[in-house]
Amino acid sequence: MVSYLRVSLSFIFSALLISPAVSQSCSSQTFSGDKSYPHCLALPNLKAFLHYSYDAANTTLAVAFSAPPSKPGGWIAWAINPKATGMAGSQALVASKDSKTGVASVTTLNIISYSSLVPGKLSFDVWDVKAEEEAAGTLRIFAKVKVPADLAANGKVNQVWQVGPGVSPNGRIQPHDFNPPNIKAVGSLDLSGATTGVSASGGGGAVNSRIHKRNIHGILNAVSWGILFPIGAMIARYMRIFESADPAWFYLHVSCQFSAYVIGVAGWATGLKLGSESKGITFNSHRNIGIALFAIATLQMFAMLLRPRKDHKLRFFWNIYHHGVGYSILILGIINVFKGLSILNPEHTYKTAYIAVIATLGGITLLLEAVTWVIVLKRKSDNSNNPPKP
């Protein structure tokens, strides 16, 4: 029994040592044929590796890039950006595995913007392009690149790498996550190999700043459009039924909605700033709903200045407009918060917490709605039983 236990532990220990997920490093990776690369970088994000060699005489860069896709059947990409440090403008090599044949292949993408992720010719020559699948689903890209003269003279190139979840049937790659490791997957590559690490290309601080602004944008908008506006609407609908709450309910309603509007505008402005700093990154539906929310919420704020008296003949039409726009803000705000959560892709705890808040508000709304109808029907019954004396 002891001997069996020793053998089992020895087997498990040996398996762990040779497991690619545990022991994969620059030195442990091998290549088929006569491929050899004097330089290797364990890239700082997405569990990626880059083996490379550079021939300064003809400015040829040979690379072998490997990384695990974010999901089975996903894709990996390595790119050079000749003019900037981000993905927009990159000249990319994208590897994926065909779902039917199981064969890995490489596609070239000239990424003009994030909304234009279609195959295209690169701005520099590339040849000997090949893809293969390693153990545990990791993909590898082989290629030789003709480095542009201005980049070769500088001795460094801006590299970008990325992984994604899959490829659609029409060949379009599905969007990658926007978690910190994905956003930080950029750096400067020293062609000579003298620098063994990956520098941040002067963009590390900017990346951290964008992540910070992104989080602020999400929090401000979730609190304003997604929580305060619904609470303000509930105050107006359910507090006014109690005669003792008049006019306190009105001032509470206005205060809550105005606070939500101010916070929402701050979140909207942060989103505009993020957009200006993230050229090529466009989330059309989220952006368009945000613009619509800002426009109709601003209109709603100004409409308060034109609110007719209760006995005015236009008050009925103003009420229809006010309620219609208000409920539109309520619905669009909650929808856009969920769209924002899917873009930010935070920990499930945050999405669960927001769902819990909305569910709680929904439950309170149903309870108050029932109470309101009971009070209204009781008053009608009392009025019919006690008609006013002539």
Q: Which of 334, 323, 211, 348 is nearest to 264 (CA)?
A: 334
* pLDDT tens figures, 131-156: 998 877 889 999 999 998 888 888 88
* Host H or E run for residue 151: helix 149-154
pLDDT attached to residue 98: 85
Res. 362 pLDDT band, cuts 50 70 90: very high
> Residue 60: is its pLDDT beyond 90?
yes
Cβ pair 78, 92 in contact under 8 A: yes
| Verdict on whether the full-model pTM lies above 0.75 | no
CA distance 112 to 4: 61
Binding residues for heme b: 217, 253, 286, 322
Conformation bin of residue 95: beta by default, left when phi > 0, alpha when psi is -120 to 50:
beta
Q: Which of 78, 74, 75 is nearest to 64 (CA)?
A: 78
CA distance 61 to 339: 41
* pLDDT tens figures, 225-253: 999 999 999 999 998 888 888 889 999 99
pLDDT attached to residue 357: 93
pLDDT attached to residue 201: 46
Mean pLDDT of 52-80: 92
Backbone angles phi, psi at 50, to 5 degrees: -130, 115
* Host H or E run for residue 354: helix 348-385
pLDDT attached to residue 304: 82
Binding residues: 217, 253, 286, 322
pLDDT attached to residue 166: 86
Token look-up 């236990």 returns: 5
List the single range of 30-44, 144-158, 243-257, 282-296 with lowest mean pLDDT. Answer: 30-44
CA distance 301 to 321: 12
User: For residue 325, what are the contacts with CB-CB under 8 A and spacing of at least 6?
Assistant: 296, 299, 300, 303
CA distance 231 to 373: 19
Structure tokens at 11: 């087997």
